[in-house]
Amino acid sequence: NAGVMQNPRHLVRRRGQEARLRCSPMKGHSHVYWYRQLPEEGLKFMVYLQKENIIDESGMPKERFSAEFPKEGPSILRIQQVVRGDSAAYFCASSPLDRTYTFGSGTRLTVV
């Protein structure tokens, strides 16, 4: 079991470009959560998804951010028209039904 896989590990984007972050949950896990960690801050919940459904997106910024977890393939966090303030580490966690979270190693996004 390879654990929660996130890629890329590091992503550099210019202002205005799109960033796509991928998360492959652990085998058998049907729940995916995305968190954002700003420098020197704790992790902030963004969105909770099950296959083909967004369950809770209360932590997602209203504009430019979207997430999906298709029937096949990884979960994708998409940030359109990135700005410098989007620079952060983005972590994905997955869980089975009992909601014991396992985190991936994160994607570090730098907007230049």
Partner 1 sequence: KQEVTQIPAALSVPEGENLVLNCSFTDSAIYNLQWFRQDPGKGLTSLLLIQSSQREQTSGRLNASLDKSSGRSTLYIAASQPGDSATYLCAVRGGVDNNDMRFGAGTRLTVKP
Considering beta carbons, is residue 50 or 80 the nearer one to partner 1?
50
Shortest Å distance, C-beta 49 to partner 1: 10
Cβ burial, residue 72 (10 Å; 0-12/13-18/19+) = exposed
Q: How far is CA 47 from the centre of its chain?
A: 8
For strand 88-95 and strand 102-103, is the pairing parallel, antiparallel, or unpaired? antiparallel
| Smaller CB separation from partner 1, 15 or 38 | 38
Please, which residue, 64 or 108, has the CB nearer to partner 1? 108
Minimum separation from the CB atom of position 57 to partner 1 (A):
10
Q: How far is the CB of 89 from partner 1 (least distance, A)?
A: 9
**CB of 76 within 8 A of CB of 67?**
yes
- CA–CA separation, 51 and 58 (whole Å): 18
> Hey, how many other C-beta atoms are within 10 angstroms of the C-beta on 57?
17
* Between 39 and 72, CB nearer to partner 1: 39
Contacts to partner 1 by CB under 8 A: 4, 6, 33, 35, 40-45, 48, 55-56, 58-59, 91, 93, 100-106, 108
Shortest approach of partner 1 to residue 68 CB, angstroms?
17
